[in-house]
Amino acid sequence: MINPTVKEVIARHHQAMSPAIGHYQEIAFEKGDGFYLYDFEGNQYIDFAIGIATCSIGHCHPEVVKAIQDQAAKLIHTSMVGYYLENVEYAELIKQIVPPTLQDGKVLLMNSGSEAVEAALKLVRMVSKRTMILAFSGGFHGRPMGALAATASASVYRKGLSSLLVGVQHAVYPYCYRCPLGHKSKETCDLACVTLIRQILKTTLPADELAGILIEPIAGEFGYIVPPKEFIEELRKICDEAGAALIFDEIQTGAGRTGKMFACEHYSIEPDVLIFAKAAGGGMPLGGFIAKKEIGDKWAVGSHGSTFGGNPLSCQAGKKTLEVIIRDNLVQNASEIGKSIIDKFNNAKEDLPAIGEVRGLGLMIGVELIKSDGSPNTELMKKVLVEAGNRGLVLCKAGESVVRICPPLNITKDIADEAVDIILQIIVDLC
């Protein structure tokens, strides 16, 4: 059979499929292998997006492929009709790798990040008998209506729907490089964003109606923004004072991405509910949460469910991925290679004024591109993505002008250097 061209696949896509879903690069991929993707014309690309952090140990990892194949030949699904072992074993593994206060918690498995977010919000509301959630402008938690009520990273997701998105109040995410409250430095702002939350709880959202605070420990979609440690620690205090649950959306940050198994380990606090998806499913549809026992145990039988949630195939892919991450010390690798990537960009930044800030933890790295007046350079970021595709590199964007760097956790220094050199050369050539 003759392969279609990249252009033909894209044209057929637009003919057949809804325009709702955007794409970061105009490339159509036929196959993946390890660190690489291949398009329909046989061109090879280093993958620095890795399915938006889903296939985190590389494409078609042989052990993950085998786990899926073996399971497919044995049992594909029974749904909620009876019990099976694959979701139990997956949940048992999650319990071992989360922070200590969550280890005797309860796991719920769904099919996606958004479903897991919605389930977590439902849980804390039903258990507390309180309705309100505090989330953050800039936060991304998914697009279906329940999760969308919390998502506030771009107005395009909410357009025409705002009046239907209820039960969530937003505070500001501490994007210190461009402080939304106008402060010049996080050293002198006295955590004004925390003061604002306390004010919201005194004036607009009664603290005794607050079921939970939902936050990404690093804001993904908004631009790979790392909040100050003290900010996250203050959120823990606010939740304790209000009797509300602290919910971490670790859908993008979890499973080793930030150089810790979960990003909450970068802070000296633990959440009450930790949501995971993406890499936790090893590229298969899987999302879920673990909730502290005292919350997780209180959900009434039958009050939630999903036909496919936690299906055996996804659980086996996710379990094998997590096992490989642990066995091959990939969390450590993410930390070390991540530091070397950040250093390389920071060194180059001295001669490249278009690079405003380089930030991130582990292999979750954002390079914010700016104009000469310091404002976000969206045009340049878009051109970098197009040119990266032309030069054999797959990349995504985040925020208004951030090049999102999200390679596989098992990336080697040589390949990481090669990809960073491509990006830097593109910036030099375009500026």
Ligand X SMILES: Cc1ncc(COP(=O)(O)O)c(C=O)c1O
Residue among 52 and 200 whose Cβ is closer to ligand X: 52
Span from 32-40, 127-135, 140-148, 367-375 in contact with ligand X (CB under 6 A) = 140-148
| Site track 236-275 with ligand X (rule: CB under 6 A), x = hit | -------------x-xx-----------------------
Quote the CA–CA distance of 359 and 364 in Å, as a whole number: 8
Site for ligand X in 390-429 (CB under 6 A): none
Q: Single out the residue of 35, 45, 136, 140 in contact with ligand X (rule: CB under 6 A).
A: 140
CA distances 378 to 13, 79, 153, Å, are 26, 45, 16
Quote the CA–CA distance of 149 and 165 in Å, as a whole number: 5
Site for ligand X in 103-132 (CB under 6 A): 112-114, 117
Beta-sheet pairing, 106-110 with 396-398: unpaired
Beta-sheet pairing, 287-291 with 106-110: antiparallel
Residue among 90 and 140 whose Cβ is closer to ligand X: 140
DSSP string, 6-20: HHHHHHHHHHHS-TT
Beta-sheet pairing, 273-276 with 287-291: antiparallel
CB of 428 to ligand X, least distance (A): 31
CB of 153 to ligand X, least distance (A): 9
Q: Single out the residue of 141, 186, 266, 404 in contact with ligand X (rule: CB under 6 A).
A: 141
CB of 21 to ligand X, least distance (A): 11
CA distances 29 to 3, 218, 270, 396, 409, Å, are 11, 29, 39, 15, 21
Tokens of residue 260, six digits: 């810790």
Residues in Cβ contact with 26 at an 8 Å cutoff, skipping those fewer than 6 apart: 6, 10, 386, 389
CB of 365 to ligand X, least distance (A): 15
CB of 274 to ligand X, least distance (A): 12
CB of 401 to ligand X, least distance (A): 19
61 DSSP 8-state letter = -
Residue among 251 and 354 whose Cβ is closer to ligand X: 251
- 3-state secondary structure at position 74: helix
Quote the CA–CA distance of 180 and 296 in Å, as a whole number: 35
Q: Which residue is nearest to ligand X (CB)?
A: 113
CB of 239 to ligand X, least distance (A): 19
Site for ligand X in 29-88 (CB under 6 A): 52
Beta-sheet pairing, 132-137 with 168-172: parallel
Site for ligand X in 205-224 (CB under 6 A): 216, 220
Q: Single out the residue of 152, 242, 277, 409 in contact with ligand X (rule: CB under 6 A).
A: 277
Size of the site for ligand X (CB under 6 A): 15
CB of 276 to ligand X, least distance (A): 10
**Contacts with ligand X, residue ranges (CB under 6 A):** 52, 112-114, 117, 140-142, 216, 220, 249, 251-252, 277, 287
